[in-house]
Structure 1
Amino acid sequence: MKHYHYIFAGSGLAALMTAYKMAVSGRFADKHILLIDPDEKKANDRTWCFWERGNGNWDEIMFRNWKTALFKNADFSRELDFGGYHYKMVRAADFYSFVLTELRKHPNITFAREKVVDFQDNGTQVLVKTEARNYTCDKLFNSIYKRELPASQHKYPVLQQHFVGWHVKTAIPVFNAGVPTFMDFSIAQKGNTRFMYVLPFSATEAIVEYTLFSKDLLPVEEYEAAIASYLKNLGTTEYEIIDKERGSIPMTSYKFWKQNTKNILHIGSAGGWTKASTGYTFKNSDKLSGKLISFLQTKEDFTKFHKKRKFWLYDLLLLDILARTNEKGSTIFSAMFHRGDAAPIFKFLDEETSLAEDLGVIWRCPKGLFVKALLRRLF
């Protein structure tokens, strides 16, 4: 049975970010590291977007970069003032290629194309079982998401950010290449939080996604019918579907970190690294993987890694509202973006605001909804 210093169970976004930062830091060259995943990570299977000021860690593989975006509902339309932020897009295929090219330069890092079926912390080391064989390690990073954990409790609501996206090329110009559509709530809500999301590459090419924040997924046909209807309203019925994307991102304030042990750390969505109130994962993973690298150099007990912050409560209150009254999402987000100044909201959602700045954003929201949600939590 082969032993490693570090094993990654799953090699998704958070795992690859962490392994990459370990490699380029030069501080783990004497450690044997294994990444276990049955997928070779070659497909362009998803798209990540995030807002950021100035230069960032992943600009080398940035596919698109926008300086503004559109927010829309049934009553108004705003081109948002980003206040120095940029909305950046990274394609999965580019990310995988970039990271894996670097990791393969390091002889202490190896890969196993296997499926992890179980792992357990034995106190002094971790036993990792795959369908093919067993391994041991000093420390395990697990990014394999177990839906049954948050689903087995009722204290914290569990919603999904679920979507279907079409990468389309239209016969006539219908998109503004310089202005993505951040959220378009002008579509029928049908008792949910539903919006269209558009990432334009040219006047005739874009990714168009039909997105919901709700508990239950829809039949694929319903997402696709909504996209077709939206394109028709933009003025086109003639288009080529270049590619399709489908996803479901967990949105919950469930305390995933309670599953950590001294030698097992849950990362990515499995560790609660997805921003609960928005479903955004890339920026959070970038921040937390960096903090993890620093943590590994000074501490050993993974139960000490997580620190609960005020933003956890903010996210929880929003999810409480959407779980009880899912149709309120349009009202809440419209209130937040009504002024058009997006920078304070981006800073807030990035969890970088002071208490005074928090209150400035919260004060924009429908206060009665959040007061009632807070009182329900307190009493």
Structure 2
Amino acid sequence: MTDHDVVIIGGGAAGLTLTHRLGRVNHPRGGPPRVALVEPPPGPHTPPPRTWCFWEPDGGDWDGLLAARWRNLTVVGPGGAARTAPADPYVYKMLRSADVDAHVRSRGGFEPVPLLVTAVRDGADHAAVEGTLPDGTPARLTARWVFDSRPPRPAPVGRTLLLQHFRGWFVRTPADAFDPGAAVLMDFRPPQPEGAVAFAYVLPLSAREALVEYTEFGPEPLTTAEYDRALADHCARLGLSGFEVTAAEQGVIPMTDAPFRPRAGRRVFRIGAAGGATRPSTGYTFSGVLRQGAAVAAALERGRVPVPPVPHRRRHLAMDAVLLRALATGRVRGAEFFTDLLTAGRLGDVLAFLDGGGRWSRELALGLRTPVAAMFLTTLDHLWYSARTALTPGRGSAPPPTATPGGRRRPVR
């Protein structure tokens, strides 16, 4: 006899949205499954609040909790030329993790367990999650299925690794300074670091409040002081003065061609970024998390093994591997590449491709807007590498990842 049907480890985007989804599942034995959501006790292991951004059509499950939404998106090139276009049929949306957490808990239907997990043990009939309670007492939960959103150890290794690292300020201005109807998706006017890509974005919450964020795709995060200098420079570039920083967020997202395998055992699975939900070329994860949760819920309702899918098509992962390699080797300049991609045609088509939708014909048209020679050379390089590693015993994903050239560097001023 197991304690639960499902144990979910981690209360981030993947864990919370899966918990919410399972509350609407009609389990084969009748009623919703018995679910436990395991999170570390409050303290150093508690993740900080986050904002989660994604795009989808109107009418999504989370629309009632949105902190903000935008139909129009702006892209600013390195030289300052700006293009604002509708994202139709999509809407760009922002959720706050605290709002999602409060909503999921208010609906109930699961057991919250404050447990610092020390081990997950697979088995033929059930899996076990072991750890310590807040008072230090050992505890053990058993379940038919365990979904673990923690980063796998060791991390999967691929050929190329870039880090999307960022810091954002929530700012409040003394006078109207933002257009709440339009978000700046990418602004490439910040100085471009050697061997990396830098951009900023602005997500208005009102005419006087916005999230201003500085991001790099590169080999190594900056210090907080370096991020703050870059943010101050960009706020000056935007003409902001006398503003107040009301909060900040900071993080690192791996962008890698490493293979992620959601199945970790007979009854243990990985979800979220740990299960391959992150799109390697963009770092966006939330849409992939929602697709994984929907697939798990559907499998449980049908009495099937609930293996979370990698929510990205194989051809898109191959394209992402080529792009990451092209950026890492310097064959393409990231600022120009993304500006051309996002501004040359209909924005909705680009967003469909970046989220895994769209048709071959549109993808081919998008590909022709990129530096064709550089991307073709990198594609040949990728195919040769893939064939060589497939034919060489003991290779596969073993070689150490490479990032952009240069090691530790600071933004070029």
- TM-score relative to the length of structure 2: 0.84
Tell me by how many angstroms 1:305 deviates.
Answer: 4.5
Partner of 1:279: 283
Following the alignment from structure 2 to structure 1, what is the Cα–Cα distance between the partners of residues 41 and 254? Answer: 21
Of the structure 1 ranges 233-242 and 40-49, higher mean CA displacement relative to structure 2 is found in: 40-49
Following the alignment from structure 1 to structure 2, what is the Cα–Cα distance between the partners of residues 216 and 261? Answer: 33
Contact 2:260–2:275 under 8 Å retained in 1: yes
Provide closer, same or farther for how the CA distance between residues 35 and 140 of structure 1 changes in structure 2, counting only shifts above 3 A.
same
Matched, 1:376 2:381: yes
**1:178-193 → structure 2 map (5 Å cutoff):** 178-191=181-194, 192-193=196-197
Contact 1:35–1:112 under 8 Å retained in 2: yes
Deviations 1:118-168 (A, max 9, x none): 212133321221133222222110101136313xx3x33222221110001
Show structure 1 runs of 5+ residues with no match: none
Aligned pairs, number: 372
Provide closer, same or farther for how the CA distance between residues 359 and 94 of structure 1 changes in structure 2, counting only shifts above 3 A.
same
Deviations 1:251-270 (A, max 9, x none): 22322216522211100011
User: Which residue identity is paired with 1:202?
Assistant: S
Show structure 2 runs of 5+ residues with no match: 133-137, 385-413
Partner of 2:173: 170
Pick aligned residue for 2:40 from 35, 38, 41: 38
Following the alignment from structure 1 to structure 2, what is the Cα–Cα distance between the partners of residues 195 and 181? Answer: 11
Provide closer, same or farther for how the CA distance between residues 305 and 175 of structure 1 changes in structure 2, counting only shifts above 3 A.
closer
RMSD: 2.4
Following the alignment from structure 1 to structure 2, what is the Cα–Cα distance between the partners of residues 216 and 172? Answer: 37
Contact 1:262–1:302 under 8 Å retained in 2: no
Contact 1:84–1:343 under 8 Å retained in 2: yes
Tell me by how many angstroms 1:183 deviates.
Answer: 0.3
Partner of 1:113: 114
More helix by share: 1
* SS of equivalent residue, structure 1 residue 180: strand
User: Which residue identity is paired with 1:121?
Assistant: D
Following the alignment from structure 2 to structure 1, what is the Cα–Cα distance between the partners of residues 48 and 148? Answer: 23
User: Which residue identity is paired with 1:280?
Assistant: Y
* SS of equivalent residue, structure 2 residue 280: coil
Pick aligned residue for 2:299 from 292, 295, 302: 295
Partner of 2:143: 137
User: Which residue identity is paired with 1:265?
Assistant: F
Of the structure 1 ranges 186-195 and 232-241, higher mean CA displacement relative to structure 2 is found in: 232-241
User: Which residue identity is paired with 1:31?
Assistant: P
Deviations 1:48-69 (A, max 9, x none): 1111223111111112111101
Tell me by how many angstroms 1:326 deviates.
Answer: 8.6
Partner of 1:253: 257
User: Which residue identity is paired with 2:365?
Assistant: G
- TM-score relative to the length of structure 1: 0.91
Pick aligned residue for 2:269 from 265, 268, 271: 265
Provide closer, same or farther for how the CA distance between residues 240 and 288 of structure 1 changes in structure 2, counting only shifts above 3 A.
same
